[in-house]
């Protein structure tokens, strides 16, 4: 097992290990004790991994139930957020209670925001299940919902007590989602870690290298968020590729995944040599590498 200790406004550990899901309960117990808990997940992830996490928490003596909502970004709204609060209130979860987010970035952001606000904050653990959430959204303490047609406009900075990462769950993730997450890891490598970039460039088949890629990408994000937890300066480096990427994402409204747009957005921001290397690594993994719009078309969305 690899452990990363994060020292942001609060400190917590990130554990990375194949198969760790089976003993998630024990790992959570070491930071929270065994008390009342609600697992929040989406329908897809719950069907795949819900029982495993529920069983392991019950074995560790948690008084645990679950709440699931339909998968996808369209659930990241006020009404589903209210449903989570209702589930917490219906259980009379006390301030010593615990929320476990089991899923991708949508679940993490929603469950995290509910945990941050219910009773002014209850304990929160992340079990991210997409590559994007494992390398990016589960660390750094940003939680949010979409509101009024704007992404992530209502939220809070709120740190988890622990993050539990099982690279094995990525085996059920679609290749497209996996690669979209890889694009964020490529972004981190391109800005901070030449060896990680080479590892991704040279990897044969990716799967065997995923634990190492996740670990190194998280080390980059850890170092950045520890120095700049509220994104006043350095943390903006993590936005590499996002300026043009977000414009491409808005223009294509829902047709491209966020990571695919970040992939595209890195190229025009880079010098010739860097752009060529980034392009070739994107092509290696079947990520898009050519923006389909002209500068004029994208300008209104920039
Ligand atoms: P997601 O949570 O919607 O997951 C993508 C899809 O994969 C979903 O349909 C989900 O059901 C499915 N899935 C998840 N894990 C699976 C598994 N192991 N096997 C099979 N299917 C699985 O999307 P995402 O890409 O993980 O996250 C995107 C969200 O994260 C966005 O809302 C974005 O705003 C947010 N985000 C937040 C931060 C942050 O710092 N808080 C950073 C980046 C992104
Ligand atoms: Mg991003």
Confidence of residue 236 (pLDDT cuts 50, 70, 90): confident
Mean pLDDT for the chain overall: 96
What is the pLDDT at residue 234? 84
The rounded Å distance from CA 90 to ligand 2 centre is: 34
pLDDT tens-digit series, residues 114-124: 999 999 999 99
Cβ 142 under 6 angstroms from ligand 1? yes
Ligand 1 test: best mutation among 133, 153, 168, 242, most atoms within 8 Å of CB?
A: 133
The rounded Å distance from CA 133 to ligand 1 centre is: 6
Name the nearest CA neighbour of 214 among 237, 176, 180, 185: 185
The residue-averaged pLDDT of 46-57 equals 98
Torsion of CA 288, 293, 294, 299, to 10 degrees: -110
What is the pLDDT at residue 202? 97
Higher pLDDT, 225 or 25: 25
Helices (H), 168-271: 175-192, 194-202, 210-227, 242-251, 258-266
β-pairing verdict for 2-7 and 11-16: antiparallel
Other C-beta atoms within 10 Å of 39: how many?
Answer: 27
Alpha carbon 46 to chain centroid, angstroms: 17
Under 8 Å CB-to-CB from 279, ≥6 apart: which residues? 267, 289
Site of tokens 């991210």:
128
Residue 88 pLDDT greater than 90, yes or no = yes
Other C-beta atoms within 10 Å of 243: how many?
Answer: 12
Name the 3-class secondary structure at 230: coil
The model carries a pTM of 0.96
Q: How many CA atoms, within 13 angstroms, populate the side-chain half-sphere of residue 185? A: 35
């Amino acid at each position: 097992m690899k452990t990363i200790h994060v020292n942001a406004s609060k400190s917590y550990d990130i554990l990375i290990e194949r198969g760790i899901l089976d003993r998630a309960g024990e790992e959570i117990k070491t930071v929270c004790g065994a008390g009342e808990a609600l697992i929040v997940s989406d329908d897809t992830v719950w069907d795949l991994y819900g029982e495993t996490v529920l069983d392991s928490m019950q074995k560790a003596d948690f008084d645990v139930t679950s709440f699931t909502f339909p998968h996808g970004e369209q659930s990241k709204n006020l009404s589903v957020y209210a449903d989570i609060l209702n589930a917490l209130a219906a259980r009379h979860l006390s301030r010593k209670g615990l929320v476990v987010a089991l899923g991708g970035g949508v679940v993490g952001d929603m469950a995290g925001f509910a945990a941050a606000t219910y009773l002014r904050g209850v304990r929160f653990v992340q079990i991210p299940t997409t590559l994007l959430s494992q390398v990016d959204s589960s660390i750094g303490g940003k939680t949010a919902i979409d509101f009024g047609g704007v992404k992530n406009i209502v939220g809070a900075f709120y740190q988890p007590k622990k993050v539990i990462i099982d690279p094995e769950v990525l085996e059920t993730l679609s290749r497209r989602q996996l690669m979209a997450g890889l694009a964020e890891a490529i972004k981190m490598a391109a800005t901070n870690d030449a060896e990680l970039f080479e590892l991704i460039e040279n990897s044969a088949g990716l799967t065997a290298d995923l634990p190492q890629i996740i670990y190194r990408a998280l080390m980059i994000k850890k170092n950045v968020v520890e120095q700049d937890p509220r994104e006043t300066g350095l943390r903006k480096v993590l936005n590499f590729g996002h300026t043009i990427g977000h414009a491409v994402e808005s223009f294509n409204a829902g047709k491209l995944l966020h990571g695919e747009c970040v992939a595209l957005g890195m190229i025009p921001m880079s010098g010739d040599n860097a752009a060529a290397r980034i392009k070739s690594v994107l092509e290696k993994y079947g990520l898009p590498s050519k923006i389909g719009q002209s500068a004029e078309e994208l300008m209104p969305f920039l």
